[in-house]
Amino acid sequence: MLATVLFFGLAILGLGMLSYFTDSDILSVPDLGQYPGVVGMVLAIVVFVAILVPSLRPRRPTYPASVLVGVATALAHLAGVWLTALVAGAGIAPATAAVMQLVVGGSTLVIGLAALVAAWVGIALRRTRAHRPSWPWEDEEG
């Protein structure tokens, strides 16, 4: 759960910083609207969770799984944007232009890196068997 919230937060922060420092919109294809970006991000979150959860099942999950999570999440975002643009009736050329703008503009890299970092943190928390913090007097055994 924490890794999912971290991924979403890092993705929003990273995309906002990218937009601010490059002084450009993340997705600026004419007549496309906001829905492809929203659906792409929702699909990215779903794929992030769907790939990360099985990776966390082993007693000592391995860190290279975070690379798979990052790549799959970035590709899911691109697929979500492209398919939503097609379903919305934009056509193949504008949908492909939107995906190419995300790749060339660096948005896909930002989403992939956010997923990689969040997955790494999730795996680290699982490997260390981290628990919620507690005060010494909350220990029932002591």
Q: Note the pLDDT tens digit of each residue in 78-106.
A: 999 999 999 988 889 999 999 999 999 99
Q: In angstroms, what CA-CA distances link 129 with 61, 78, 126?
A: 11, 34, 5
Residues 110-125 have pLDDT tens digits of 999 999 999 999 998 8
Residue 135 above 80 pLDDT? no
> Tokens for 66?
């975070």
Residue 45 above 60 pLDDT? yes
Total-model pTM: 0.85
Residue 17 above 90 pLDDT? yes
The helix/strand/coil state of 10 is helix
As a whole number, the mean pLDDT across the chain is 89
Residue 107 above 90 pLDDT? yes
39 vs 14: CA distance, rounded Å: 18
Q: What is the mean pLDDT of residues 69-73?
A: 96
Output the pLDDT for position 40.
94
Output the pLDDT for position 25.
87
Output the pLDDT for position 141.
65
